[in-house]
Amino acid sequence: MQLTPQELAALRQGPLPAPPLPRPRGALTELLFKSLSGPVQPLPPTPPIAVDLLSDDDAVLALYACYELHYRGFAGVDDTWEWEPSLHAFRGHLEAAFLERLRDISGPVVLSDDIESSLHALLAAGDGPSLSEYMASEGTREQLLEFHVHRSAYQLKEADPHSFLLPRLSGAAKAALVEIQSDEYGEGVEKDMHAELFALSMRELGLDDGYGAYLDVTPAPTLASVNCASFFSLHRRWRGAGVGHLAVFEMTSVEPMGRYSVALRRHGFGPWARLFYDTHVVADAHHQTLATRDLAGGLVRSEPHLAADVLFGAQALSAVERRFTEHLLGCWKAGRSSLLAPVLVS
């Protein structure tokens, strides 16, 4: 589908500005944001991390903010903070607790004959609730808007986390990732980048499409899912898990994206609101095979010792996304917002 001149004019021009630092949510973010607001210098000592890095809003936001310094950063924060050693030590404590929780919820890694069969078996064994099915058949208009607010934390920088994997791979796996990422970035055409298409959806829904605009109302289960992609992709040690994470991302996209498009249509939203989802239905039909056979399979063929890591990354994504779904559906069933505060719609 080609955009008209009017739609093209409505698209945001140039790079999105960096968002401001979010509001602190506890002692960790109080310390971190106070430091980031000033000149670059060593962080003060921090107590041991003894909270859940999947559900504690303070700790999860702290880790998200540390990662964000590798993406757009924050307005008023010196870019030199990105590589401050004491900040990386602080992040390392958070990551250790995060990795422990990912292992807890992922369960044991059990490989079958090959990595492709293992990935398909993992998805076939999934028995959690389906958020896309709920949205397509039952979700209210307000819940559809909330869903887009949640997803904006990742979708407005879609593909960026996994691009960190590119220099860490070689051969067939690297070629597959390049092909996938090229599609994600609209084959080099700004208006076709998937992040831009999601921003278009948000505007069509009357939501703020600004990068990080809803960070203050985004809860831990949502940010933990974004942190998972960043953690795996930013560490060469976890490149296998990053590949497994992306493989399952692509393998589980086609049907859910189609259902979200149905949900938008059911509530009267037109083709521009649905373009992001309809584009994925087409692109990911090819990506799911490419990601399984050539990305994950290619990596394991060249580095067989990473097979367990690939499956761990896949299991981690599935487990984190299950918790995200349970959070949203649980809140809605209880008659309350799944966000930390209601959002205004223009």
CB 277 within 8 A of CB 266: no
Instruction: In whole angstroms, give the CA distance from residue 311 to residue 61.
Output: 26
pLDDT at position 16: 53
The whole-model pTM stands at 0.93
CA distances from 177 to 169, 201, 209, 244 (A): 9, 26, 27, 12
CB 16 within 8 A of CB 211: yes
Per-residue pLDDT reduced to its tens digit, 304-343 = 999 999 999 999 999 999 999 999 999 999 999 999 998 8
Domains, in order of start, for the chain: 19-104 (no CATH), 114-333 (1.20.910.10)
Tokens of 147: 């869903």
- Per-residue confidence in pLDDT tens, the chain, 346 aa: 334 434 434 444 444 579 999 999 999 999 999 999 999 999 988 878 899 999 999 999 999 999 999 999 999 999 999 999 999 999 999 999 999 999 999 999 989 889 999 999 999 887 789 999 999 999 999 999 999 999 999 999 999 999 999 999 999 999 999 999 999 999 999 999 999 999 999 999 999 999 999 999 999 999 999 999 999 999 999 999 999 999 999 998 889 999 999 999 999 999 999 999 999 888 767 888 999 999 999 999 999 999 999 999 999 999 999 999 999 999 999 999 999 998 877 6
CB 192 within 8 A of CB 261: no
In the chain, % helix, strand, coil (3-state, to 5) comes to 70, 0, 30
- Helix 254-266 to helix 271-289 angle (10° resolution) is 170
Instruction: In whole angstroms, give the CA distance from residue 109 to residue 74.
Output: 37
CB 214 within 8 A of CB 152: yes
CB 73 within 8 A of CB 79: yes
pLDDT at position 314: 97
- Cα torsion at 246, 155, 339, 269 (round to 10°)? -120
Per-residue pLDDT reduced to its tens digit, 205-217 = 999 999 999 999 9
